[in-house]
Amino acid sequence: MPQVVVITGGSRGIGRATALRFARQGARLVLVARDEEALASAAAECRARGAEVQTASIDLALADGPQRAADIALLRFGRIDVWVASASVFSYGSIADTPDAVRDRVIETNLTGHMRAARAVLPHFLARGTGTIVFVGSLYAQVAGPYVSSYVAAKHGLLGFTRSLRQEMLAHRGIRVKIVLPASIDTPIYQRASNSTGRTPFPLPPVVSADRVARAVVRVTRGPRHEVGVGAAQFVTRPLQFFAPRVYDRFIRTLQHALGLRRRPAPTTTGAVLAPQHDPGAVSGGWSRIPLRRPR
């Protein structure tokens, strides 16, 4: 029987790449995101690969958003086998310059929304005695970086929440709680970020494809591992922060100034954090084609 998979943030980036992977396996999909245009485009790509797809234009940051998504999935397909929590927004700015509304929405989308999603889907999993939740976290759940404090705080919180939830579910062997921790991934999230730095943001190198993360998400739903990192930066930054925290602090600040926030001027914007930016959406942000250094 085909799996029923709910993917939040399924219209772009990692969520969309994951949807395409599950579609090729014949899963029945519920794609959840704010932008109806991007959702329709992602759904069409999944249907072209043979999947049955339901879309739900829902803001996961709203208090009733996750429950509405779960209700739509159950109404359409009668059950949920896998919930992939991939919805995410990004912001650049110092702690002083980041607007309160942006900070709060980053945390509501990247942390609180996923906590509410777990609460929405768990009663269904418990009643059936089976189900898998996969949270898409970040390397920033394990390290920190300057000018991305809201995102770092949310992802640290998501990792802690995942571990706590997994501990609570130990008595329910059929329910699995997983998290995938990508480093810098080639997705549109950076172009759509809130930015109050005055500089042009770029993902920190090395950048890897969203499909590589999607493969990890699909694999972790079947395998024994609870936490999976994706990206070469995992093997450098985590040990450096642990064994030489002062060196790491200087290193990450220098890297962010040199490669993460280029000197090319950029306007202040809230990006897609507070409201969706409507377009057909895409898996890639085109970052893998951009040279490591460009003229300033």
Which residues are catalytic, by number?
151
Exposure string over 198-237, b if 16+ CB within 10 A, otherwise e: ebbbbbbbebbbbbebbbbbbebbeeeeebbbbbebbeeb
Task: Kindly state the tokens that stand for 56.
Answer: 């739900």
Task: Kindly state the tokens that stand for 8.
Answer: 């939040």
User: How far apart are the C-alpha atoms of 53 and 41, rounded to whole Å?
Assistant: 12
**Torsions phi, psi for 148 (to 5 deg):** -135, 35
